Amino acid sequence: MSAVTTSKIGIAYISTGNEVRYIGPGVEGLVHGIDGTVKVLKGSAAIVDFGDYGRWKIPGWFIQPMEARKAIPISK
């Protein structure tokens, strides 16, 4: 069983049009680590377009903005 990662960023820091990465568990038709674009925000979730994988409603704690990934320093 693989560990599930959750975002500490939160849905409040995600906007329509943001590029995000899915960091939740792999489910039928959706792969952990896939990138997509936020199309609609709905409460604590977002409708994300993953291209060939389709559009999915994803809880905010399972998506991470790509901008946040660039800003996080890598510890050595």
The domain that contains 49 carries what CATH number?
A: 2.30.30.140
- Selected residue with higher pLDDT from 31 and 8: 31
Task: For residue 53, give its domain range.
Answer: 11-65
DSSP 8-state secondary structure symbol assigned to residue 9: S
Is pLDDT of 34 > 90? yes
| Mean pLDDT of all residues in 19-48 | 92
pLDDT computed for residue 11 by the predictor: 80
Instruction: Assess if residue 2 is contained within a domain.
Output: no
Q: What is the mean pLDDT of the chain?
A: 82
Q: Do the Cβ atoms of 72 and 17 come closer than 8 Å?
A: no
Q: pTM to 2 decimals? A: 0.76
Instruction: Assess if residue 3 is contained within a domain.
Output: no
> Helix (H, G, I), strand (E, B), or coil: what is residue 12?
helix
DSSP result, 14-63: --TT-EEEE-S--BTTB-TT-EEEEEEEETTEEEEE-GGG-EEEEEGGGE
Instruction: Assess if residue 75 is contained within a domain.
Output: no
Q: Do the Cβ atoms of 37 and 17 come closer than 8 Å?
A: yes
Instruction: Assess if residue 56 is contained within a domain.
Output: yes
pLDDT band at 74 (very low <50, low <70, confident <90, very high): very low
| Domains identified in the chain, total number | 1
